[in-house]
Amino acid sequence: MTDERSAQAPGDPLPLSERLKLLLGQRAAREGTKPTSTYKLAAALEEQERRAGRWEPTPKKQEFVSAQYLGMLLRGEQDDPRRSILVALAEYFGCTLDDLAAPTRDQADLLERLRRVGLEDIGMRAARPLAGLGPQDRETLRRMLDAVERDQQ
């Protein structure tokens, strides 16, 4: 069985499941906690949407999004959630819909390296411009990260 990540070229968009796992890991690292369970994530999204006045339970729809559905998104069994769920996830993770929509493996790897050396805030601010960097610019950034990582060892 081929690993979904290894089969992708650096410039290919990450599948939604990988983007969500990356964002969950980044949020947990920022907060110094374990990644949130799908049950806690579902409850947090529901509370966020209620407070924003965008969702209220009805007799037919008692929850904004189920933990089971979020689990399916994380496993890649579902990959096309309704827009309201994407908007809620983007707000929860503190990113834009564009940032949630299609980071590439190359961008995700750079952001992960920035997180490991304690520069994630710079990476998140730069995430959008990273998409426009050419191969030489990305290589320069990688060399700079290599130097920072060596200095930390």
> Residues 21-62: pLDDT tens digits?
888 887 887 788 888 899 999 999 999 999 999 999 999 889
d(CA 65, CA 43): 8
- Is residue 6 assigned to a domain? no
Distance from the first to the final alpha carbon of the chain: 35
The answer to whether the beta carbons of residues 109 and 139 sit under 8 Å apart is: no
Q: Indicate if 119 and 44 belong to the same structural domain.
A: no
Within-domain flag for 86: yes
Among candidate residues 60, 81, 101, the one where a domain is terminated: 101
**pLDDT of res. 128:** 46
CATH number at residue 94: 1.10.260.40
User: Is 8 inside a domain boundary?
Assistant: no
Domain count, the chain: 2
- Is 0.75 topped by the overall pTM? no
Residues 28 and 71 in one domain: yes
Long-range CB pairs of 125-129 (<8 Å, 24+ gap) are 127/95, 127/99, 127/103, 128/96, 128/98, 128/99
Are residues 95 and 110 both part of a single domain? Answer: no
Cα–Cα distance measured from residue 42 to residue 35, given in angstroms and rounded to the nearest whole number: 13
- Residue 4, domain member (yes or no): no
Domain of 119 in residue numbering reads as 104-153
Do 47 and 68 sit in the same domain of this protein?
A: yes
Do residues 25 and 49 share a domain?
yes
Residue 108 has pLDDT above 80, yes or no: no
Report the alpha-carbon distance of residue 98 to residue 55 in Å, rounded: 23
